Amino acid sequence: MNHAVINIASENSDFSPLETRDRNVRKIVIGQSPTDRSAKPIAVPELPYFDVEFRNLTHFYLWSSTGVSKVPTLPNCLQVLEVRSSADLTTIESLPGSLEQLILEDNPNLSTLPARHGHTFESLVELSLAGCPLIDSEWINQLIKLSPNLKRIELSRCPQVVHLPVELPRMLDRLDLNECGQLVGLPDPLPLTLRRIGLQGARKLNALPALPRDIDYLDLSGTTSLTQLPSLPPLKKEGEEKPLGDLRSLFLCGSGILEPPASEHGSSPSTNVSRETREYFEDVRLVGPGKVRRCKLLLLGNGSAGKTSLSLNLNPHYINRDAKVGGHHPGSTHGVQFWDWPDFEARLSKNDQPQKVNLHLWDFGGQEIYHSTHRLFVSRGSVFLVLWNPEQDGKQPLEQDGYQDVWYPVRYWLDYIHMECPHTVPLIAIVCTHQAKKWNTTDPEQKKKLRQSLEGRLRRDIGDEYADRIPLFILDSESESGVGEREEVEQWVQQSVHRLVDAQGTCVPTHWEVAQNMVEKWLPGPQGTNGNRIVTPATSHAEYSRISLQAFRDKLHDAIMNEIDTPDQRGTDFGLLRQNYGKGDFLNERRLQRTLRFLTHSGWVYWKDDLDQSRVIIDQRWALDTAYSTLERRKTSVRKHLLDAGGRFTFSDLQSGYWRDQGIDEDDQRLMLSFMESIGVCFPISRHWRSTDTQTVYVSPTHLPDSADLCNSFDAEHPDQTQETVECRQLHQGHWFAILREIGRRYGDEATYTNDACLIRGSTYRWNQQDKTWSALLRFRLDNLTKGLGGKVFISVVGKAVAERLPVLKSFVESFLPGFDGKASEAVREFDHVYCQPAEHLPTVFFSYAWDPVEKKGYYEEPVDAIYDALKPFHQKAVLLKRDQETMNEGDYISEYAINAGALNTSYVIVFTSDKYWLSWWCMLEFCSLLESLKRAGKGVETTVLLIEHHTGLLKTEHDVGVFTDKWKQIKRCVTSRETIAEDSIPKRPPRQFARLDKGWYIDEFIHAIQHDSEPLTADALKIRRVWKKEDGADIVAWVKQKLGLPTDQL
């Protein structure tokens, strides 16, 4: 029997068709699709000589195979050769000149291909060798030269690629070289047809040629050696056609690009910053270049390692008072302390001209309880000093107030920094402390032996990779001047700050410099006289601790006006700013956001658009101290409440507790709650829609209960579990908190949360609550921290569709871990599809209303929009919303949608009446369908219908009803006499269900519905009706939520 296609999808398939000569076979597919996450490799027997057995074969696919070491000679008519994920493949014997697509991906041992092609590949348009590291780079370049019509070249994950041919194919459309770590450059010029270039992770690439005019996509994330962008085409003006070279997608996260500065590079490799980049260059062109004047020096390490003493020792504006009498700075830092060095001089060498920088020292508390809250600040551009007290190695501190802290090895802190700076190479030095007695000698040999001993010990602890590039200094800050290599530490800090300031941007728009100068005056400064400033943990002036976004804009406007009215004195030319500032709305929303991103990245302020009312936090010490109060390690009422409540709290709990006692007003309380959520101290969990609780519940992950009972119960109930393990070299507790946060957003109080385990089940989000057909348990386990970070997440799934759920849940977990950034959004979307798809049994809320006319936008739909937006957070969780503009798909009939108002599965109907509603054929169809359903199903009006009345459509009196019934009678006379009537009154094509019915008869139904059946809906009964007034909108929304059984307070 002849087969046009041979498809072998699994090991259980019949392989015999490969053993029979068949000239009719055109396509052979072996293995499962590479896009199938549950696909498993299949063992494949030796392949036949295709040029003999299948002489007319045009397509050959080999996916996820084992046992295949060689692809024998292929027929000369082959058009497509695709071999993916074949772990044992080493050899491909021939490549026919007829090929149009050559896809060889993720074949780690493939190294032998035809040594001499012997012909050109005129038909080849797509070439992919991604993930094949053993293919010779010169062979690759030769193949490209012999393929003049290539449109796509994919060489990602090929570390052997150092350069490409001098001339690329002239028709090339796409070039992907992601994770080519040895690539040093691209051909110049690039083909004019090139529209997409991927260079993510090309760390040695140090220059780019001019971009083709039609370039549409450029990925430079992780190109750490690349410092300069080629020029970009100008921005498209409003109303203009798309210009040539409109680069719509640009990715810079983790690159070494100096302009724009790092604050505009995005938060992850998948953040598109094309618009931000163009706007940055436009701003510099418009107002001229200014200077970066701020850098952060972060001191990290265990509690009592000496961070605060070193901060005071290095900074000439502070005096370590206790050091004067030979003592240390008392106790351990809780949270974070700030020390300003406003006139720090950054320089690359002693002979260089110094660069004045405001150096901001961040002295982080080393206690384990603060690590997760520090993560957000550690990830922003900084220089790092890690303090190491060798006396703490292998020991643990004494328990204090019922809390056992942890002393971590120095490798932990290095891993921690690299984990939080995954897209850059952070500037780190290690300072060894508590060595004064050994170092304080006049014998240079003794010092040399001490250094050699410490270096050897450190190398054993942190490994060669770190030891070879991270310098070690010995400095004890017990005395005012310090004992050890203070000068060397200062010189390293000067050089590193200089490099980092350059990396933050060699220039910024001048209004950013004005903003820096303005904020600097608001910050708390050192206190004292005659230059001998004594540190006092001062807070900012109350006026500038935190301000609204509008107030910040107003003050920046005043500062700019003051600057442009003052002669230039500091070397910055404000001429362009003076010339262009008054033209249009200069401080618009986007310019203000860019300014605040830069100030936040540089450490001047803290701002994110998800903070309450988008306020700006100036006094970060105040904000962090307030946040840490909920994590207090000492025995306090807040800690006791959180532990007793299983880590859960509401806004009212904090309002009536710590914050009230501290005199924090309600606006600041709301700001602090949003700040705590922003930095990961807590996260909200959605409530079941039937819950009677009206406040959002928050979870503090550090106060969750122990997981032993949950895990033991799950294991006892489900002895047969399907399991997977996710192992991560840089796993940290912060990753676990991020996973819990996302689960909390989706599953809310239907999931069970503990300190290192989480249980999710089939829920009302997809299956009914009584029939929990599946369960999944995640267990988080850190390795023994004798070396650094690392650990595993164990995943157990039982019940329905395990084969589908397990790989999806595994990908979801991986998406929060280092190295998975590029696929994170895809994994979360798939998780939502498989785990969080809504169930049909959820209450359905139907919106029946008349659309706005084109010339009166918002006239009729204002209440519809307000109520729909208020209910949207509950969509697919507590209710299913049915609004035509949101629900209907392309090609759906409005008539079929309209009769759903009376569908049996419609639980509630919100009727928005108006004059247009009562005179619209479509609205009347919905209305009559609803009335018929109420009669047929015996539904009560009070439990089914909510009436929101527009002032034009009130039916309070017989006269009101008569106005609309008379108009429908007039329409009926027009229909009978074939007179012209309004287009909206009668549809040209009625619903197919009613196509044979007389239109006049239907109008009689409408008249009867308005005149008689509408009485229970239109009567003056406050139980089901409200008259819409914008000023009463919040009360009406709350009333609707109450009627639907939803929480009315969403704080």
Core vs surface per residue 516-552: b (16+ CB within 10 A) or e: bbbbeebbbebeeeeeebebeeeebeeebbbbebeeb
Which DSSP category does 374 fall into?
A: H
pLDDT reported for residue 981: 41
Could you tell me the end-to-end alpha-carbon distance of the chain, in angstroms, rounded to an integer? Answer: 70
10-residue mean pLDDT profile of the chain (1051 residues): values are: 76 83 90 75 90 93 93 94 95 94 96 79 96 96 95 96 95 95 94 94 93 90 90 53 62 89 85 89 90 83 82 75 42 64 81 80 66 60 87 76 72 84 82 84 86 90 90 80 82 88 74 91 56 37 77 93 76 84 83 91 86 88 79 71 88 78 81 87 70 73 92 93 89 86 83 93 46 82 71 91 85 80 53 53 81 72 89 78 63 50 72 85 77 70 82 78 80 60 44 47 70 60 76 89 75 32
Cβ-based neighbour number of residue 571 at 10 Å: 6
Q: Which CATH number fits domain 711-835: 3.30.530, 2.60.520, 1.10.10, 3.30.450?
A: 3.30.530
- Between CA 965 and CA 919 the distance in angstroms is 9
Core vs surface per residue 613-634: b (16+ CB within 10 A) or e: ebbbbbbbbbbbbbbbbbbbbe
Dihedral, CA of residue 314, residue 316, residue 321 and residue 324, to nearest 10 = 80
Q: Which two tokens stand for residue 960?
A: 């009101």
Domain ranges of the chain: 294-504, 542-685, 711-835, 844-1044
Phi, psi of 753 (to 5 degrees): -115, 135
Helix (H, G, I), strand (E, B) or coil at 386: strand
pLDDT reported for residue 980: 44
Spell out where 636-761 has E strands. 648-650, 683-685, 697-699, 722-728, 752-753, 757-761
Contact 328, 366 (CB under 8 A): no
Contact 147, 169 (CB under 8 A): yes
List Cα–Cα distances, 853 to 191, 925, 985, 987, in angstroms.
50, 19, 14, 17
Question: Amino acid identity of 877?
Answer: K
pLDDT reported for residue 377: 64
Helix (H, G, I), strand (E, B) or coil at 745: helix
pLDDT reported for residue 319: 59
Spell out where 538-676 has E strands. 546-547, 616-617, 648-650
Contact 908, 844 (CB under 8 A): yes
356 beta partners = 345
Phi, psi of 926 (to 5 degrees): -60, -45
CATH of domain 294-504: 3.40.50.300
Helix (H, G, I), strand (E, B) or coil at 635: coil
Question: Amino acid identity of 316?
Answer: P
Q: How far from chain centre, in Å, is Cα 435? A: 44
Q: Would 711-835 and 844-1044 be classified into the same CATH topology?
A: no
Cβ-based neighbour number of residue 337 at 10 Å: 22
Q: Which two tokens stand for residue 942?
A: 């009070």
Q: Which two tokens stand for residue 29?
A: 């597919």
Whether the pTM exceeds 0.85: the reply is no
Fold for 844-1044, please state it.
Rossmann fold (3.40.50)
pLDDT reported for residue 338: 76
pLDDT reported for residue 774: 84
List Cα–Cα distances, 577 to 353, 512, 565, 584, 639, in angstroms.
27, 11, 11, 13, 52
- Between CA 923 and CA 933 the distance in angstroms is 15
pLDDT reported for residue 373: 57
